[in-house]
Amino acid sequence: MGKRVMILSASAGSGHVKAAQAVEEACRTDPRVSDVLNLDALEYTNDIFQQIYSKGYLEAVKNAPELWAMAYDNMDKPWEKTLFYSVIHRINSQPLVRKIVEYDPDICICTNMMPADIVAHLIQQDKVHCNLGIVVTDFYVHALWLEEVFTRYFVPKQENKYHLSRLGLPSDRIVVSGIPVLERFSADMPKPELLRKHGLDPDLPLVLLSAGAFGLLKAETIHKILEQIKSRCQIVVICGKNASLKSRLEKLIEASEGGNLHKYLVEGYTDSMHEFLRLADVFIGKPGGLTTSECLVSGVPMVIWDPIPGQEQYNAYYLLENGVGVLPDNAITIGFKVDQLLADPERLSAMKARAKAISHPFAARVVVDEMLKNEDETPVRPFKKTP
Protein backbone atom coordinates (compact mmCIF):
# COMPACT_ATOMS: atom_id res chain seq x y z
CA MET A 1 0.00 0.00 0.00
CA GLY A 2 1.34 3.44 -0.96
CA LYS A 3 2.32 6.05 1.59
CA ARG A 4 0.63 9.34 2.35
CA VAL A 5 3.22 12.10 2.39
CA MET A 6 2.69 15.59 3.79
CA ILE A 7 5.21 18.32 2.90
CA LEU A 8 5.27 21.48 5.01
CA SER A 9 7.15 24.68 4.25
CA ALA A 10 6.75 28.35 5.22
CA SER A 11 6.82 31.36 2.92
CA ALA A 12 9.37 33.39 4.88
CA GLY A 13 11.39 34.08 1.75
CA SER A 14 10.89 31.78 -1.23
CA GLY A 15 13.55 29.14 -0.56
CA HIS A 16 11.63 26.91 1.85
CA VAL A 17 8.66 26.77 -0.54
CA LYS A 18 10.89 26.00 -3.54
CA ALA A 19 12.56 23.14 -1.66
CA ALA A 20 9.11 21.77 -0.80
CA GLN A 21 8.10 21.94 -4.47
CA ALA A 22 11.17 19.90 -5.39
CA VAL A 23 10.31 17.28 -2.77
CA GLU A 24 6.72 17.18 -4.05
CA GLU A 25 8.02 16.65 -7.60
CA ALA A 26 10.06 13.66 -6.39
CA CYS A 27 7.08 12.24 -4.52
CA ARG A 28 4.80 12.43 -7.54
CA THR A 29 7.18 10.31 -9.61
CA ASP A 30 7.70 7.66 -6.93
CA PRO A 31 5.28 4.71 -7.16
CA ARG A 32 5.63 4.06 -3.43
CA VAL A 33 3.71 7.28 -2.72
CA SER A 34 -0.07 7.03 -3.01
CA ASP A 35 -0.91 10.60 -2.02
CA VAL A 36 1.03 13.80 -1.42
CA LEU A 37 -0.08 17.09 0.13
CA ASN A 38 2.23 20.12 -0.04
CA LEU A 39 1.25 23.06 2.19
CA ASP A 40 2.63 26.45 3.11
CA ALA A 41 2.27 26.21 6.89
CA LEU A 42 1.85 29.97 7.23
CA GLU A 43 -1.42 29.82 5.30
CA TYR A 44 -2.81 27.85 8.25
CA THR A 45 -1.86 30.38 10.92
CA ASN A 46 -3.63 33.53 12.03
CA ASP A 47 -3.09 36.74 10.06
CA ILE A 48 -0.96 38.52 12.66
CA PHE A 49 1.43 35.59 13.09
CA GLN A 50 1.64 35.17 9.31
CA GLN A 51 2.57 38.82 8.81
CA ILE A 52 5.16 38.80 11.59
CA TYR A 53 6.76 35.52 10.51
CA SER A 54 7.02 36.29 6.79
CA LYS A 55 7.06 40.05 6.33
CA GLY A 56 8.69 40.69 9.70
CA TYR A 57 11.70 38.64 8.63
CA LEU A 58 11.97 40.38 5.26
CA GLU A 59 11.66 43.84 6.81
CA ALA A 60 14.27 43.00 9.43
CA VAL A 61 16.90 41.83 6.96
CA LYS A 62 16.23 44.80 4.65
CA ASN A 63 16.01 47.63 7.14
CA ALA A 64 17.83 46.44 10.25
CA PRO A 65 20.40 43.80 9.21
CA GLU A 66 22.57 44.47 12.27
CA LEU A 67 19.65 43.75 14.60
CA TRP A 68 18.80 40.64 12.61
CA ALA A 69 22.42 39.44 12.92
CA MET A 70 22.28 39.96 16.69
CA ALA A 71 18.99 38.08 16.98
CA TYR A 72 20.28 35.25 14.75
CA ASP A 73 23.36 34.77 16.95
CA ASN A 74 21.45 35.08 20.22
CA MET A 75 18.99 32.37 19.17
CA ASP A 76 21.74 30.04 17.98
CA LYS A 77 22.12 28.16 21.27
CA PRO A 78 21.75 24.38 20.86
CA TRP A 79 19.02 22.79 22.96
CA GLU A 80 18.03 26.10 24.55
CA LYS A 81 14.92 26.63 22.47
CA THR A 82 12.40 27.97 24.95
CA LEU A 83 9.00 26.51 25.72
CA PHE A 84 7.65 29.95 24.83
CA TYR A 85 9.01 29.53 21.26
CA SER A 86 7.14 26.26 20.73
CA VAL A 87 3.97 27.39 22.49
CA ILE A 88 3.78 30.52 20.32
CA HIS A 89 3.96 28.29 17.24
CA ARG A 90 1.19 26.01 18.44
CA ILE A 91 -1.14 28.75 19.70
CA ASN A 92 -0.99 30.56 16.38
CA SER A 93 -1.13 27.44 14.22
CA GLN A 94 -4.23 25.56 15.36
CA PRO A 95 -5.66 25.30 11.81
CA LEU A 96 -2.34 23.72 10.76
CA VAL A 97 -2.43 21.29 13.69
CA ARG A 98 -5.97 20.26 12.70
CA LYS A 99 -4.92 19.81 9.07
CA ILE A 100 -1.97 17.59 10.02
CA VAL A 101 -4.10 15.42 12.31
CA GLU A 102 -6.89 15.22 9.73
CA TYR A 103 -4.56 14.24 6.88
CA ASP A 104 -2.88 11.62 9.10
CA PRO A 105 0.31 11.27 7.04
CA ASP A 106 2.61 8.26 7.10
CA ILE A 107 5.51 10.60 6.40
CA CYS A 108 5.87 14.33 7.02
CA ILE A 109 8.75 16.24 5.40
CA CYS A 110 9.40 19.78 6.64
CA THR A 111 11.54 22.33 4.80
CA ASN A 112 11.13 24.97 7.49
CA MET A 113 11.80 24.91 11.24
CA MET A 114 8.36 26.22 12.27
CA PRO A 115 6.26 23.29 10.96
CA ALA A 116 9.03 20.87 11.99
CA ASP A 117 8.65 22.08 15.58
CA ILE A 118 4.88 21.60 15.45
CA VAL A 119 5.02 18.11 13.94
CA ALA A 120 7.70 16.99 16.42
CA HIS A 121 5.48 18.12 19.29
CA LEU A 122 2.44 16.31 17.84
CA ILE A 123 4.49 13.10 17.60
CA GLN A 124 5.63 13.51 21.22
CA GLN A 125 2.00 13.95 22.27
CA ASP A 126 0.96 10.85 20.26
CA LYS A 127 -1.48 12.98 18.28
CA VAL A 128 0.06 11.91 14.97
CA HIS A 129 1.97 8.76 14.13
CA CYS A 130 4.27 9.56 11.25
CA ASN A 131 7.94 9.63 10.38
CA LEU A 132 9.39 13.14 10.34
CA GLY A 133 12.02 14.26 7.85
CA ILE A 134 13.60 17.67 8.41
CA VAL A 135 15.25 19.29 5.37
CA VAL A 136 17.72 22.07 6.23
CA THR A 137 17.69 24.72 3.49
CA ASP A 138 20.91 26.64 4.23
CA PHE A 139 24.54 25.55 4.50
CA TYR A 140 24.52 26.04 8.27
CA VAL A 141 22.23 24.33 10.78
CA HIS A 142 20.95 26.98 13.17
CA ALA A 143 19.90 25.83 16.64
CA LEU A 144 16.23 26.54 15.86
CA TRP A 145 16.28 23.59 13.44
CA LEU A 146 16.98 21.17 16.32
CA GLU A 147 14.24 18.76 17.36
CA GLU A 148 14.36 15.89 19.85
CA VAL A 149 11.93 13.74 17.87
CA PHE A 150 12.62 13.03 14.19
CA THR A 151 13.29 10.21 11.75
CA ARG A 152 15.84 11.86 9.44
CA TYR A 153 17.71 15.13 9.12
CA PHE A 154 18.71 16.06 5.57
CA VAL A 155 21.63 18.50 5.41
CA PRO A 156 23.55 20.20 2.58
CA LYS A 157 27.15 19.27 3.47
CA GLN A 158 29.28 16.81 5.43
CA GLU A 159 30.25 19.43 8.03
CA ASN A 160 26.56 19.81 8.95
CA LYS A 161 26.38 16.08 9.70
CA TYR A 162 29.47 16.28 11.90
CA HIS A 163 28.01 19.33 13.68
CA LEU A 164 24.69 17.63 14.42
CA SER A 165 26.30 14.38 15.55
CA ARG A 166 28.47 16.36 17.98
CA LEU A 167 25.27 17.84 19.39
CA GLY A 168 24.10 14.32 20.19
CA LEU A 169 21.89 13.47 17.22
CA PRO A 170 22.31 9.84 16.08
CA SER A 171 24.72 9.92 13.14
CA ASP A 172 22.84 7.21 11.24
CA ARG A 173 19.76 9.46 11.17
CA ILE A 174 21.58 12.34 9.42
CA VAL A 175 21.81 12.26 5.62
CA VAL A 176 24.00 14.55 3.50
CA SER A 177 21.49 15.03 0.70
CA GLY A 178 22.10 18.58 -0.50
CA ILE A 179 19.27 21.12 -0.73
CA PRO A 180 16.37 19.97 -2.95
CA VAL A 181 15.94 21.82 -6.25
CA LEU A 182 13.58 21.09 -9.14
CA GLU A 183 15.06 18.62 -11.60
CA ARG A 184 14.70 21.08 -14.48
CA PHE A 185 17.85 22.82 -13.15
CA SER A 186 19.94 19.76 -14.00
CA ALA A 187 18.23 18.98 -17.31
CA ASP A 188 20.55 18.81 -20.31
CA MET A 189 18.87 21.45 -22.49
CA PRO A 190 20.44 22.31 -25.88
CA LYS A 191 21.98 25.78 -25.64
CA PRO A 192 21.45 26.85 -29.29
CA GLU A 193 17.72 26.27 -28.96
CA LEU A 194 17.53 28.23 -25.69
CA LEU A 195 19.56 31.11 -27.13
CA ARG A 196 17.14 31.38 -30.05
CA LYS A 197 14.12 31.15 -27.75
CA HIS A 198 15.28 34.12 -25.66
CA GLY A 199 16.82 36.14 -28.50
CA LEU A 200 20.34 35.92 -27.08
CA ASP A 201 23.71 36.09 -28.84
CA PRO A 202 25.65 32.79 -29.04
CA ASP A 203 28.93 34.69 -29.42
CA LEU A 204 28.72 36.73 -26.21
CA PRO A 205 29.24 35.54 -22.63
CA LEU A 206 26.11 35.83 -20.52
CA VAL A 207 25.88 37.48 -17.11
CA LEU A 208 22.69 36.74 -15.18
CA LEU A 209 21.58 39.12 -12.43
CA SER A 210 18.78 38.73 -9.91
CA ALA A 211 17.64 42.32 -9.35
CA GLY A 212 15.75 41.31 -6.23
CA ALA A 213 19.14 40.82 -4.60
CA PHE A 214 19.68 44.57 -4.77
CA GLY A 215 16.75 45.26 -2.46
CA LEU A 216 15.95 48.94 -2.29
CA LEU A 217 18.51 50.10 -4.85
CA LYS A 218 17.09 52.28 -7.61
CA ALA A 219 17.06 51.18 -11.23
CA GLU A 220 19.59 53.93 -12.01
CA THR A 221 22.02 52.49 -9.47
CA ILE A 222 21.65 48.94 -10.78
CA HIS A 223 22.17 50.14 -14.36
CA LYS A 224 25.28 52.05 -13.30
CA ILE A 225 26.66 48.96 -11.52
CA LEU A 226 26.16 46.84 -14.63
CA GLU A 227 27.78 49.43 -16.87
CA GLN A 228 30.91 49.08 -14.71
CA ILE A 229 31.42 45.69 -16.37
CA LYS A 230 33.99 46.43 -19.08
CA SER A 231 33.98 43.03 -20.79
CA ARG A 232 31.73 42.84 -23.84
CA CYS A 233 28.86 40.61 -22.79
CA GLN A 234 25.09 40.23 -22.67
CA ILE A 235 23.27 40.76 -19.39
CA VAL A 236 19.96 39.19 -18.41
CA VAL A 237 18.28 40.99 -15.51
CA ILE A 238 15.51 39.20 -13.60
CA CYS A 239 13.23 41.70 -11.82
CA GLY A 240 10.69 39.22 -10.47
CA LYS A 241 7.36 40.79 -9.54
CA ASN A 242 8.82 44.30 -9.30
CA ALA A 243 7.13 45.73 -12.39
CA SER A 244 8.21 49.31 -11.70
CA LEU A 245 11.87 48.29 -11.50
CA LYS A 246 11.57 46.39 -14.78
CA SER A 247 9.91 49.35 -16.51
CA ARG A 248 12.48 51.86 -15.22
CA LEU A 249 15.44 49.67 -16.19
CA GLU A 250 14.07 49.17 -19.69
CA LYS A 251 13.65 52.94 -20.09
CA LEU A 252 17.21 53.59 -18.90
CA ILE A 253 18.61 51.02 -21.31
CA GLU A 254 16.54 52.39 -24.20
CA ALA A 255 17.59 55.97 -23.39
CA SER A 256 21.23 54.85 -23.47
CA GLU A 257 20.84 53.15 -26.85
CA GLY A 258 24.26 53.23 -28.44
CA GLY A 259 25.79 54.22 -25.12
CA ASN A 260 25.25 50.88 -23.38
CA LEU A 261 28.33 48.69 -23.22
CA HIS A 262 26.25 45.54 -23.34
CA LYS A 263 23.26 43.82 -24.84
CA TYR A 264 20.45 43.63 -22.26
CA LEU A 265 17.41 41.45 -21.69
CA VAL A 266 15.19 42.55 -18.80
CA GLU A 267 12.69 39.98 -17.54
CA GLY A 268 9.93 40.25 -14.94
CA TYR A 269 8.65 37.19 -13.13
CA THR A 270 9.81 34.14 -15.07
CA ASP A 271 9.44 30.38 -15.04
CA SER A 272 12.59 30.13 -17.16
CA MET A 273 15.22 30.68 -14.48
CA HIS A 274 16.58 27.19 -15.12
CA GLU A 275 17.03 28.08 -18.80
CA PHE A 276 18.85 31.33 -18.05
CA LEU A 277 21.13 29.51 -15.60
CA ARG A 278 21.82 26.89 -18.27
CA LEU A 279 23.06 29.71 -20.53
CA ALA A 280 24.81 31.84 -17.89
CA ASP A 281 28.55 32.13 -17.43
CA VAL A 282 28.28 34.17 -14.23
CA PHE A 283 25.44 34.84 -11.77
CA ILE A 284 25.21 38.02 -9.68
CA GLY A 285 22.95 37.80 -6.64
CA LYS A 286 22.37 37.04 -3.00
CA PRO A 287 23.39 33.59 -1.74
CA GLY A 288 20.09 32.24 -0.48
CA GLY A 289 20.16 28.50 0.14
CA LEU A 290 18.02 27.63 -2.88
CA THR A 291 19.64 30.17 -5.21
CA THR A 292 23.06 28.85 -4.20
CA SER A 293 21.99 25.26 -4.86
CA GLU A 294 20.40 26.12 -8.21
CA CYS A 295 23.64 27.81 -9.30
CA LEU A 296 25.74 24.83 -8.18
CA VAL A 297 23.51 22.32 -9.97
CA SER A 298 23.63 24.51 -13.10
CA GLY A 299 27.42 24.85 -12.86
CA VAL A 300 27.37 28.66 -12.64
CA PRO A 301 29.90 30.58 -10.48
CA MET A 302 28.42 33.32 -8.33
CA VAL A 303 29.40 36.93 -7.75
CA ILE A 304 28.01 37.17 -4.23
CA TRP A 305 26.23 40.39 -3.39
CA ASP A 306 25.60 41.66 0.16
CA PRO A 307 24.78 38.39 1.98
CA ILE A 308 22.24 38.68 4.79
CA PRO A 309 23.96 38.35 8.19
CA GLY A 310 23.49 34.82 9.44
CA GLN A 311 22.34 32.16 7.02
CA GLU A 312 23.41 33.86 3.77
CA GLN A 313 26.85 34.59 5.19
CA TYR A 314 27.32 30.88 5.88
CA ASN A 315 26.15 30.08 2.35
CA ALA A 316 28.68 32.60 1.02
CA TYR A 317 31.45 31.00 3.10
CA TYR A 318 30.63 27.64 1.48
CA LEU A 319 30.88 29.08 -2.03
CA LEU A 320 34.15 30.87 -1.28
CA GLU A 321 35.66 27.86 0.51
CA ASN A 322 34.97 25.69 -2.53
CA GLY A 323 36.20 28.22 -5.08
CA VAL A 324 32.86 28.63 -6.85
CA GLY A 325 32.07 32.21 -5.83
CA VAL A 326 33.71 35.62 -5.46
CA LEU A 327 32.78 38.41 -3.05
CA PRO A 328 33.13 42.06 -4.13
CA ASP A 329 34.17 44.60 -1.50
CA ASN A 330 31.16 46.75 -2.42
CA ALA A 331 28.75 47.52 -5.26
CA ILE A 332 31.37 49.55 -7.12
CA THR A 333 33.60 46.48 -7.60
CA ILE A 334 30.93 44.05 -8.82
CA GLY A 335 31.90 44.84 -12.41
CA PHE A 336 35.57 44.36 -11.56
CA LYS A 337 34.86 40.86 -10.20
CA VAL A 338 32.81 39.93 -13.28
CA ASP A 339 35.59 41.20 -15.57
CA GLN A 340 38.16 39.11 -13.71
CA LEU A 341 36.13 35.96 -14.31
CA LEU A 342 35.29 36.65 -17.96
CA ALA A 343 38.91 37.56 -18.72
CA ASP A 344 40.18 34.20 -17.45
CA PRO A 345 38.35 31.40 -19.33
CA GLU A 346 40.50 28.70 -17.74
CA ARG A 347 39.62 29.84 -14.22
CA LEU A 348 35.95 30.27 -15.13
CA SER A 349 35.80 26.79 -16.65
CA ALA A 350 37.37 25.28 -13.53
CA MET A 351 34.87 27.08 -11.31
CA LYS A 352 31.96 25.79 -13.41
CA ALA A 353 33.25 22.23 -13.18
CA ARG A 354 33.81 22.54 -9.44
CA ALA A 355 30.29 23.91 -8.91
CA LYS A 356 28.78 20.87 -10.64
CA ALA A 357 31.09 18.53 -8.74
CA ILE A 358 29.86 19.68 -5.31
CA SER A 359 26.20 19.97 -6.33
CA HIS A 360 23.38 17.60 -5.41
CA PRO A 361 21.01 17.65 -8.42
CA PHE A 362 18.88 14.80 -7.09
CA ALA A 363 18.64 15.86 -3.45
CA ALA A 364 14.83 15.70 -3.52
CA ARG A 365 14.90 12.08 -4.69
CA VAL A 366 17.36 11.24 -1.91
CA VAL A 367 15.04 12.79 0.69
CA VAL A 368 11.99 10.90 -0.53
CA ASP A 369 13.83 7.60 -1.00
CA GLU A 370 15.40 7.72 2.47
CA MET A 371 12.04 8.38 4.09
CA LEU A 372 10.31 5.61 2.14
CA LYS A 373 12.93 2.89 2.40
CA ASN A 374 13.17 3.33 6.18
CA GLU A 375 9.41 3.21 6.72
CA ASP A 376 9.68 0.63 9.51
CA GLU A 377 11.73 2.98 11.67
CA THR A 378 10.06 5.17 14.24
CA PRO A 379 11.02 8.71 15.21
CA VAL A 380 13.90 8.70 17.68
CA ARG A 381 12.94 9.60 21.21
CA PRO A 382 15.00 11.77 23.59
CA PHE A 383 18.72 11.08 23.23
CA LYS A 384 21.77 12.40 25.05
CA LYS A 385 22.08 16.00 23.93
CA THR A 386 25.39 17.88 24.09
CA PRO A 387 25.70 21.68 23.87
Position 102 scores a pLDDT of 97
Distance CA(113)–CA(247), nearest Å, equals 37
| Among the listed residues 19, 59, 10, the one whose alpha carbon sits nearest the alpha carbon of residue 364 | 19
What 3-state class would DSSP assign to 207? strand
Model confidence pLDDT, tens digit, residues 299-339 = 999 999 989 889 999 999 999 999 999 999 999 999 999 99
Position 383 scores a pLDDT of 67
Position 378 scores a pLDDT of 77
Confidence of residue 69 (pLDDT cuts 50, 70, 90): confident
The mean per-residue pLDDT over the stretch 3-30 comes to 95
Model confidence pLDDT, tens digit, residues 145-183 = 999 999 999 999 999 999 999 999 999 999 999 999 999
The mean per-residue pLDDT over the stretch 55-61 comes to 75
User: What CATH class does 3-181+362-373 carry?
Assistant: alpha beta
pLDDT at 205 over 70: yes
Asked whether 115 and 8 are in contact (CB, 8 A), the reply is: yes
The mean per-residue pLDDT over the stretch 122-141 comes to 96
**Residue 131: strand pairing partners:** 107
Longest dimension (CA), the chain: 69
pLDDT at 108 over 60: yes
Which phi and psi angles does 383 have, rounded to 5°? -120, 175
Model confidence pLDDT, tens digit, residues 86-102 = 778 878 899 999 999 99
Question: What is the domain partition of the chain in residue ranges?
Answer: 3-181+362-373, 185-357
Instruction: Indicate the helix (H) or strand (E) that contains 39.
Output: strand 33-40
**Residue 93: strand pairing partners:** none
CATH no., domain 185-357: 3.40.50.2000
Position 61 scores a pLDDT of 76
How far CA 314 is from CA of 90, 160, 188, in Å, comes to: 29, 12, 30
Whether 3-181+362-373 and 185-357 share one fold: the answer is yes
Position 276 scores a pLDDT of 98
The mean per-residue pLDDT over the stretch 364-379 comes to 90
Position 192 scores a pLDDT of 95
Position 319 scores a pLDDT of 99
pLDDT at 375 over 80: no
Position 258 scores a pLDDT of 55
pLDDT at 195 over 70: yes
Position 384 scores a pLDDT of 67
The mean per-residue pLDDT over the stretch 125-142 comes to 96
- What is the average pLDDT score of the chain? 92
Position 286 scores a pLDDT of 92
Asked whether 41 and 9 are in contact (CB, 8 A), the reply is: yes
Percentage of residues in the chain with pLDDT exceeding 70? 96
Higher-scoring residue by pLDDT: 143, 211: 143
pTM: 0.94
Model confidence pLDDT, tens digit, residues 219-252 = 888 888 898 999 999 999 999 888 889 999 999 8
pLDDT at 259 over 70: no
Position 52 scores a pLDDT of 81
Distance CA(157)–CA(321), nearest Å, equals 12
Whether the CA torsion 230, 284, 316, 174 is positive or negative: it is negative
227-266 exposure pattern, b = at least 16 Cβ within 10 A, e = fewer: bebebebbbbbbbeebeebbebbeebbeeeeeebbbbbbb
Higher-scoring residue by pLDDT: 76, 258: 76
Q: How many CB atoms lie within 10 A of CB 359?
A: 23
